[in-house]
């Protein structure tokens, strides 16, 4: 027997690691065979235009081009995760640069590329709206004419009476913050193959985050029953939310289904950059008030998110950003208005943090500013307001049980005192041009789906062995995007069944072979998928013990406690069933002459409920910090009039190894989630939430200036320093 | 990428001949291809004939110090060759430093010295699908657009900056190019004059006559005791184009600057030599105060665009650091 104690938390080696580091692992582009037809997408290349005429004759005449598919070839020409508002191939209007207009199918990549250049599209350019505030003006050009407005969603949250709250405040501060797009920059650009199998089903082999949702959207587009579409995942080279929306999967399916031949596509990095969704640019204007006792009395905020040309998950992201406008603090009086806006920019959707990093850049900086204004330690002001068991969210319901925000903060401050000298006079480098500072910030992010979106994971477990349990087969359609979900689920199964992990077969990557586990997103797979696996293991085991044939097989759907939609007027409701809490302390060094910011040390404290595999949790934290550091300081996605200027990694800069801190201290706390398997909640997104405000606070500590635009580039640091010098 | 013909040349002279066959604009020499291939892939350049000069490596890939101390760099010497050469590291460490900062190891292994000087700007309007002036259009989109990486000096209609790390260093070292031309001709040209801001007639940052091929870079012997420093400021710690870079080369006698060279990268269409500062430094003792004065003087005529004003203080800081480092002083 293998005890749960020895398996849960154990740093078991990743079964996929060797193949990945030796290059043996097969990613989607590795599935392409020479005999497959190759696809090339004709992109719009302009932000907004009417298609007057589309002529495929020249392309079809090119040697090797077999077909040019257009809107007329798509049975149901609309898809999307929430609203099906995005055409697979545009018929009359293109709404952003990366809109797909036609699909060239050819015998070779070269022929497909040449054919794509020969597709003649006669466009009538339309006025483009690329600023979300301008898009809300009554006379703004409409992105979707049929809607009559560019407002995709307005979500109000009202709690208490903000006027009274501000009247009671000793300090009232205003702030305005803006963030830009962020590119997921996964190692593996979009790719895949598709073919018709012997049973006449359309099979798509690719990468994604949710087999069954990909299948649903593809089946809907082709007007096929879902069982006639099979989605399989190869090894997935990162996702971070960027593979939630369909990119190439549905077009692969369309071509294979139309031509009845195997087809393949591999996007270049530039195609990936201009065509898949991004993190939302969000601007936040806010007002915060606090009493002389350090209690926050009121928060008012306006949150505007640039959703780009199609809905994607903008509504959900904007609700999350609106909910977290007050961070992880209990505030009696709240009035927040969130708006998601259609523009002719690239669509925005899911990206690690899902609205929380943008919102808490603002809220965490405001909390620190309030503390300064009141002469309080920013940690102390946080303590006086932070969520505790029984605290009420701005939506009027108590925070879900298992609230550990205060414990996480306290541990972070203790570590920051010991390691970074937090709270003591700062020792400055001998070089007067370099100023050192320390900053702290907290973070909160929901685990799992929010606002009443159906939440479930299903697993099937079959047990083998007579008298003694020998082995098990676990079926769960859970995407391992690189985070290690498959090993975590295996460890949960092994610990539950009491057998060694290597005696468990995992069937996870085929929509026809494994049940729906929901997406690998929202930090949810360990909690929801893990719980489904655990419950199915328990049920199968009970059955196996109870029968003389020793047959045990169970399918269990786990549904966590319900969430609700927000009231359209007050925002009241139960937004989430579980939260992950984080707190970070960072040390920065600001070069006053060049504006460059270095981050030598980061302490990142997380309550993960229970670490299923401690090494993987630390890996998630460290990897996430690289992405967070890039977001805070470096990654500057530049767009002009809807055209992306930075589709290359030579101008969209990611952090390199020397840019990473000299020291990262990941600290894992374990306050059990009441619903998670062995108490586990999630960790994937949490480290991204506090880092930008923590660095902003540290820059302020070092220099006395506040940065309010992400990313905090040398240009912006010097401008802020300059503005202060000029004022003096 | 447009289809093209591909021929090999085993010498500079053969390349010259093949280029002439390809016609005035339809043929290009390709060496490491680290820039040309991406320009072709993005259809910014679509030569009909590529003359692959790598087979001429036996003749053109070398690094040699002459008896008089001059360094001869074959056009096909790679950045990695230069970086790994122990004699260069000992005698011209400024050159080692410039190539080390230039790119990733993979790129350094492919990119050649001459090719590095002929790389085209990284301006996103030039590289993107904008009909920009440099590509023959009417408008420089960067001038009033997104221009945080762009020029703070110069009067060209184009405000892109030269991306090379090698170029400002070669200017500071008074290096010369040997250029092979039609009929076995050859000419030499100071690197500084090889570069010229793009004009309406010639929308390119360097000047080669049709059919010409760079065959060698010659770095003359530096005065005894001359020292140099290359300071590159980037958005991140490695593998990025310079926001600002500074090549400073000083020779001193009895603590007094006898000869100074200062060239900036990342601030203009071409490596930006600052003669006024060289004059200011000559005959003086290099102190932190003088370095600061030099930095002020160097940026006097800067005219930043909307988003690149930060380059002015950044360049001042880099100049101070480079000058003091070249003089063997800590800032």
CATH code for the domain of A216 = 3.90.1170.50
* Domain B226-326: which CATH number of 3.30.390.50, 3.30.450.40, 3.40.50.970, 3.30.70.560: 3.30.390.50
CB-CB neighbours of A383 under 10 Å: 17
State whether residue B5 sits within 8 Å of chain A by CB: no
pLDDT of residue A727: 77
User: What's the token pair of residue A244?
Assistant: 């939630």
CA distances from A585 to A277, A282, A628 (A): 31, 24, 14
CB contact under 8 A, B317 and A593: yes
Distance from CA of B251 to the nearest CA of A (A): 27
- pLDDT of res. A728: 73
User: pLDDT value at position A547?
Assistant: 78
DSSP string spanning A40-87? EEEE--SSSEEEEEEE-HHHHHSTTEEEEE-GGG-SS--B-SSS--B-
The predicted structure's pLDDT at residue B24: 66
Tell me the pLDDT band of B4, cut-offs 50, 70 and 90: very high
CB under 8 Å to A516, separation ≥6 — which residues?
Answer: A211, A212, A456, A457, A458, A477
Q: In chain B, where are the structural domains located?
A: 61-117+172-219, 226-326
**Cα separation of A3 and A21, whole Å?**
31
Helices H, strands E: what count in chain A?
18, 25
Same-domain status, A442 and A506:
no
> Same domain for A227 and A319?
no
Helices (H) and strands (E) in chain B, counts: 14, 12
The first and second tokens of residue A472, run together, are 């098990």
- Whether residue B170 has pLDDT greater than 60: yes
A434-446, strands of its sheet edge to edge: A434-446, A579-591, A597-607, A663-669
A448, A528 contact by CB (below 8 A): yes
Q: Scanning the structure block, which residue is given the tokens 């099906």?
A: A84
Q: How near does any CA of chain B get to the CA of A345, in Å?
A: 16
> What mean pLDDT do residues B227-245 have?
95
Q: Is B146 an 8 Å CB contact of chain A?
A: yes
- Residue A183 included in any domain: no
> Which value, in Å, is the radius of gyration of the alpha carbons in chain A?
26
A258 and A402 in a single domain? The answer is no
Tell me the C-alpha distance between A459 and A506, whole Å: 11
Please report residues of B whose CB lies closer than 8 A to that of A718. 309-310, 313-314
Domain assignment present for A168 = no
Judge contact between A13 and A618, C-beta under 8 A. no
Answer yes or no: do A593 and B310 touch at CB < 8 A.
no
Show residues of chain A in contact with B1, CB under 8 Å: 113
Q: How far is A656 from chain B (nearest CA, A)?
A: 7
Between the two ends of chain A, the Cα-to-Cα distance in Å is 72
- Is the C-alpha dihedral spanning B172, B174, B180, B183 positive or negative? positive
Nearest to B238 among A431, A644, A658 (CB): A658
Please report which helix (H) or strand (E) contains residue B6, including its range: strand B5-8
Which of A628, A588, A611 is closest to A683 using CA atoms?
A: A611
The confidence band for B266, taking pLDDT boundaries of 50, 70 and 90, is very high
Closest CA relative to residue A384, chosen from A292, A288, A294 = A294
Identify any residues that bridge with B219 across adjacent strands, giving them in sequence order: B71
Instruction: Quick: pLDDT tens for A545-603.
Output: 887 888 899 999 999 999 999 999 999 999 999 999 999 999 999 999 999 999 999 99
Total Cβ atoms within 10 A of residue A196? 16
Peptide bond preceding A143: is omega within 30 degrees of 0, i.e. cis?
no
Q: Do B240 and A653 touch (CB under 8 A)?
A: yes
SS3 B91: helix
pLDDT at A4: 66
Three-state secondary-structure class, residue A256: helix
Whether residues B141 and A596 touch (CB distance < 8 A) is answered with no
Indicate the pairing of strand A282-290 with strand B71-74.
unpaired
- A704 φ/ψ sector (left φ>0, alpha ψ -120 to 50, else beta): left
Instruction: Give pLDDT, residue B275.
Output: 97
pLDDT tens digits for range A171-212: 999 999 999 999 999 999 999 999 999 999 999 999 999 999
In a domain? residue A169: no
Distance CA A467, CA A480 (A): 33
pLDDT in tens, A132-142: 999 999 999 99
How many CA atoms lie less than 13 Å away from B13 in the CB half-sphere? 5
Q: Is B130 an interface residue toward A (CB < 8 Å)? A: yes
Contact list in A for residue B307 (CB cut-off 8 A) is 715
Domain assignment present for residue A134? The answer is no
Query: B203: exposed, middle or buried (C-beta count within 10 Å: 0-12, 13-18, 19+)?
Result: middle
- Do residues A656 and B104 make contact, with C-beta atoms less than 8 angstroms apart? no
* Token duo for residue A553: 């097989």
A443 in the same domain as A502? no
Asked if residue A593 is part of any domain, the answer here is: yes
Percent of chain B with pLDDT over 90: 94
What is the domain-level CATH number for residue A612? 3.30.365.10
The domain over range B61-117+172-219 is classified in CATH as 3.30.465.10: yes
Q: How many CB pairs under 8 A join A and B?
A: 76
How many domains, in total, are found in chain A? 3
What's residue A270's pLDDT?
95
Instruction: Please report how the helices A378-385 and A356-374 are oriented relative to each other, as an axis angle in degrees rounded to 10.
Output: 110
The Cα–Cα gap between A440 and A603 comes to 9
> Nearest-CA neighbor of B259 among B294, B295, B226?
B226
Query: Among candidates B121, B124, B147, B151, which has minimal Cα distance to B312?
Result: B151
Distance, CA of A36 to CA of A27 (rounded, Å): 16
Q: Two tokens at A212?
A: 């069954």
Q: Which of B124, B237, B314 sits opposite A645 (nearest CB)?
A: B124
Nearest to B146 among A640, A647, A658 (CB): A640
The number of beta carbons lying within 10 Å of the beta carbon of residue A138 is 5
Q: So what's the pLDDT on residue B2?
A: 85
3-state secondary structure of B137: coil
For chain B positions 223-252, those within 8 Å of chain A (CB to CB) are 233, 235-241, 243
B21 — pLDDT class (breaks 50, 70, 90):
confident
Whether residue A427 is found in the same domain as residue A511: no
The reported pTM is 0.97
**Please, what is the average pLDDT of chain A?**
97
State how far the Cα of A184 lies from the Cα of A197, in Å rounded to an integer. Answer: 33
User: Do A294 and A388 share a structural domain?
Assistant: yes
User: Which chain B residues have a beta carbon less than 8 Å from that of A636?
Assistant: 148
Residues of A in contact with B122 (CB under 8 A): 650-651
Distance separating alpha carbons of residues A124 and A541, to the nearest angstrom: 65
Residue B144 CB coordination number (10 Å)? 11
Helices (H), A567-649: 614-629
Per DSSP, what are the bridge partners of residue A105?
A39, A67
Q: Do A636 and A717 fall within a single domain?
A: yes
Contact between B48 and B5 under an 8 Å Cβ cutoff? The reply is yes
Give the distance from residue B196's alpha carbon to the nearest chain A alpha carbon, in angstroms.
24
Residue whose pair of structure tokens reads 């306290």 in the numeric block: A410
Inside any domain, residue A136: no
Is it true that B61-117+172-219 and B226-326 share their CATH fold?
A: no
Residue A485 belongs to what domain range? 4-25+456-558
Residue linked to tokens 């920065």: A588
- The chain A residue lying nearest B320, using CA atoms, is A593
From A103's Cα to the closest Cα of chain B, the distance in A is: 18
User: Among B38, B164, B314, B320, which would you mutate to test the A interface (most chain A Cβ atoms within 10 Å of its Cβ)?
Assistant: B314
Low-confidence ranges of chain A (pLDDT < 70): 1-5
DSSP-based three-state secondary structure for A38: strand
Q: Are residues A553 and A691 in the same domain?
A: no
Shortest Cα distance from A114 to chain B (angstroms)?
Answer: 8
Residue B1 has pLDDT above 90, yes or no: no
The ipTM of this complex is: 0.94
> Does residue A276 form part of some domain?
no
Residues A287 and A381 in one domain: yes
The shortest C-alpha distance from A628 to chain B (Å) reads 15
The rounded distance, in Å, linking the Cα atoms of B247 and B318 is 9
Reported as a pLDDT band with limits 50, 70 and 90, residue B34 is very high
Has residue A64 been placed in a domain? Answer: yes
Are residues A370 and A479 both part of a single domain? Answer: no
Q: What is the pLDDT of residues B81-109, one digit of tens each?
A: 999 999 999 999 999 999 998 999 999 99
Position A1 scores a pLDDT of 43
Note the Cα B111 to chain centre separation in Å. 13
């Amino acid at each position: 027997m293998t005890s749960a104690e020895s398996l849960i938390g154990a740093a078991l080696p990743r079964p996929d690691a060797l193949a990945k580091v030796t290059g043996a692992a097969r990613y989607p582009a590795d599935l392409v065979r020479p005999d497959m037809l190759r696809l090339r997408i004709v992109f719009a290349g302009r932000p907004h235009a009417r298609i007057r005429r589309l002529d495929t004759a020249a392309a079809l005449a090119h040697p090797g081009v077999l077909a040019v598919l257009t809107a007329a070839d798509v049975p149901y020409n609309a898809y999307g995760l929430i609203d099906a508002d995005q055409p697979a191939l545009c018929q009359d209007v293109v709404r952003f640069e990366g809109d797909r207009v036609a699909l060239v199918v050819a015998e070779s990549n070269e022929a497909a590329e040449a054919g794509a250049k020969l597709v003649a599209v006669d466009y009538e350019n339309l006025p483009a709206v690329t600023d979300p505030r301008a898009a809300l003006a009554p006379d703004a050009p409409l992105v979707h004419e049929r809607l009559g407005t560019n407002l995709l969603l307005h979500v109000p949250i009202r709690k208490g009476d903000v006027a009274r709250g501000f009247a009671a405040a000793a300090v009232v501060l205003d702030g305005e913050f803006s963030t830009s797009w962020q590119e997921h920059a996964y190692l593996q650009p979009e790719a895949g193959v598709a073919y018709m199998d012997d049973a006449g089903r359309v099979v798509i082999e690719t990468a994604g985050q949710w087999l069954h949702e990909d299948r649903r959207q593809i089946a809907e587009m082709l007007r096929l029953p879902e069982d006639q579409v099979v989605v399989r995942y190869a090894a997935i080279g990162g996702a971070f939310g960027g593979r939630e929306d369909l990119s190439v999967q549905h077009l692969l399916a369309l071509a294979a289904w139309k031509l009845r031949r195997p087809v393949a596509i591999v996007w270049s990095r530039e195609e990936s950059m201009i065509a898949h969704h991004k993190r939302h640019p969000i601007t936040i204007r806010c007002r915060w008030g606090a009493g002389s006792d350090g209690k926050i009395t009121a928060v008012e905020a306006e949150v505007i998110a640039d959703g780009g040309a199609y809905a994607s998950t903008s509504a959900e992201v904007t609700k999350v950003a609106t909910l977290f406008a007050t961070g992880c603090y209990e505030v009696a009086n709240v009035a927040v208005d969130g708006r998601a806006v259609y523009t002719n920019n690239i669509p925005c959707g899911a990206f690690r943090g899902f609205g929380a990093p943008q919102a808490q850049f603002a809220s965490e900086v405001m909390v620190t500013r309030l503390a300064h204004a009141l002469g309080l330690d920013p940690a102390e002001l946080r303590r006086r307001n932070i969520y505790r068991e029984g605290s009420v969210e701005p939506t009027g319901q108590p925070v879900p049980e298992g609230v550990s925000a205060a414990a996480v903060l306290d541990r972070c401050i203790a570590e920051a005192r010991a390691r970074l000298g937090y709270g003591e006079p700062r020792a400055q480098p001998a070089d007067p041009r370099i100023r050192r500072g320390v900053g702290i910030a907290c973070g909160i992010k929901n685990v799992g789906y929010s606002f009443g979106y159906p939440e479930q994971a299903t697993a099937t477990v079959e047990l083998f062995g007579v008298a003694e349990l020998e082995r098990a087969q676990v079926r769960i359609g859970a995407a391992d995007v690189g985070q290690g979900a498959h090993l975590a689920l295996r460890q949960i199964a092994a610990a539950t069944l009491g057998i060694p992990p290597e005696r468990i077969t995992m069937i996870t990557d085929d929509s026809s072979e494994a049940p729906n586990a929901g997406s690998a997103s929202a930090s949810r797979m360990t909690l929801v998928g893990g719980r489904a696996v655990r419950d199915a293991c328990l049920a199968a085991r009970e059955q196996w013990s109870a029968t003389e044939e020793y047959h045990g097989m169970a399918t269990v759907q786990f549904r966590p406690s319900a969430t609700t939609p927000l009231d359209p007027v007050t925002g009241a409701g139960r937004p989430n069933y579980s939260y992950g809490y984080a707190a970070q302390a960072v040390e920065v060094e600001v070069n006053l002459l060049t504006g460059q910011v270095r981050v030598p040390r980061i302490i990142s404290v997380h309550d993960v409920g229970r670490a299923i595999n401690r090494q993987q949790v630390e890996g998630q934290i460290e990897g996430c910090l690289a992405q967070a550091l890039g977001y805070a300081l470096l990654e500057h996605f530049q767009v002009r009039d809807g055209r992306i200027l930075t589709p290359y990694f030579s101008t969209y800069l990611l952090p390199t190894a020397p840019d990473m801190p000299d020291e990262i201290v990941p600290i894992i706390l374990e306050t059990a989630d009441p619903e998670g398997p062995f108490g586990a909640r999630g960790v994937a997104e949490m480290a991204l939430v506090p880092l930008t405000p923590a660095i902003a606070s540290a820059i302020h500590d070092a220099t006395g200036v506040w940065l309010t635009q992400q990313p905090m580039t040398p240009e912006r640091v010097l401008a802020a320093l300059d503005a202060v010098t000029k004022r003096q | 990428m447009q289809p093209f013909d591909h021929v090999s040349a085993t010498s500079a002279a053969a390349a010259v001949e093949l280029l002439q066959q390809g016609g005035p604009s339809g043929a290009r020499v390709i060496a490491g291809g680290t820039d040309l291939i991406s320009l072709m892939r993005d259809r910014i350049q679509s030569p009909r004939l590529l003359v692959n000069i790598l087979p001429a490596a036996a003749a053109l890939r070398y690094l040699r110090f002459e008896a008089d101390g001059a360094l001869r760099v074959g056009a096909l010497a790679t950045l990695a060759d230069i970086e790994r050469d122990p004699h260069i590291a000992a005698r011209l460490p400024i050159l080692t430093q410039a190539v080390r900062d230039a790119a990733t190891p993979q790129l350094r292994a492919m990119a050649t010295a001459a090719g590095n000087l002929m790389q085209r700007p990284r301006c996103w309007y030039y590289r993107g699908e904008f009909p920009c002036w440099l590509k023959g259009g009417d408008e420089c989109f960067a001038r009033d657009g997104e221009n945080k990486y762009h020029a703070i000096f110069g009067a060209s209609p184009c405000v892109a900056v030269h991306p090379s790390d090698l170029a400002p260093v070669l200017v500071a070292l008074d290096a010369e190019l040997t250029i092979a031309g039609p009929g076995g001709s050859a000419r030499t040209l100071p690197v500084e004059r090889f570069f010229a801001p793009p004009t309406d007639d010639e929308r390119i940052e360097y000047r080669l006559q049709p059919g010409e091929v760079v065959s060698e870079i010659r770095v003359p012997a530096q005065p005894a005791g001359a020292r140099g420093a290359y300071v590159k400021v980037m958005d991140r710690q490695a593998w990025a184009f310079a926001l600002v870079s500074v090549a400073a080369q000083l020779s001193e006698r009895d603590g007094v600057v006898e000869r100074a060279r200062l060239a900036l990268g990342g601030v203009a269409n071409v490596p930006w030599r600052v003669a006024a500062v060289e004059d200011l430094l000559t005959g003086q003792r290099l102190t932190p105060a003088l370095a600061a004065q030099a930095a002020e003087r160097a940026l006097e005529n800067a005219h930043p665009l909307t988003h690149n004003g930060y380059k002015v203080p950044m360049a001042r800081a880099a100049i101070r650091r480079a000058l003091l480092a070249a003089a063997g002083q800590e800032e």
